[in-house]
Structures are given as structure tokens and as C-alpha cells.
Amino acid sequence: GGPKKVRERIFLDYRARYPGMDDDDLRVEMRKEMRAKIVAKRQQSGLDNSDLGVGEDGSVDIEAKVDVAAVSKRFEAMGKENANSFSLPAYFLYITRAFATLEGIGLSIDEEFSIVKECWPYLAKRL
């Protein structure tokens, strides 16, 4: 059926679970359920996401210190663990390593420097 049919099946499933909700409200419920599943999986695996700037509820805290090198390592590990599901392009990993290098240079000058915080306005527009 393709992506449209998959989307239709997902919405049919959610409409059955949450009768009377419009599509926007269903999307909110989908996100809540997905976030809850992600948090549960993190807790089961014992992953500590504090170095990634991710809260216990899966929210992102841009004020938190983010270890860009840890993010890069986590992406590499995810790629290896889920090689049959998806793969990260090589340029993505090169970019995260470049960010780690830039953040290291910035931290050597200013201990409070955060490349994620500096890039957030641009990232927010792109996401």
C-alpha cells in the first residue's frame, strides 16, 4: 500500500482507540504514546541521557550541557544496533564529529560555551 496506506491504517487504529478526536488531537496522542515508549525503552536499557540534554520525559533541554561527542557516539551505536532498520549517512557522523571538535575549541576558551545553544535558533528553524 505505500506510505499513504500505512498512514491511513495508523489513523484508523488511533480513531478506534480515541473516538471523537480530530486528526490534530490524534497526532498529539500519537506523540505522547511514542514518547512514553521511548522513555520506557531508555529506562529498560539503563541508558543515561543526561549527557544528551534529554530529560526523563524525553523532552529536550537546550539549557543543559550537551556532550556533543556523546551524541555522536550514541548515533554510531544506534546505527550499529539497528543496521537492518536504518543507516546514518557518513556525512552525518562527520558533521557530529566536526561539532564535537568545534565545541572542544569553544570550551577551551569559555567553560560555559555550548555549540548546541549557539546553533539552536538555526536548528529550530530547520526542524
- 20-66 pLDDT tens trace: 888 888 888 888 888 787 777 766 766 555 555 556 555 655 566 66
Tell me the per-residue pLDDT of 57-66, one tens digit each, with 9 for 90 and over: 556 555 666 6
Q: Is the pLDDT confidence value at 3 over 60?
A: yes
The tens digit of pLDDT for each residue in 81-99 reads 777 776 778 788 788 888 8
Q: What is the pLDDT of residue 70?
A: 75
The one-character DSSP state at 52 is: G
SS3 54: strand
- Residue 72 makes CB contacts below 8 A (sequence gap 6+) with 93, 96, 97, 99, 100
CA distance 124 to 77: 25
Rg (CA), the chain: 18
pLDDT the model gives residue 65: 65
pTM of the predicted protein model: 0.42
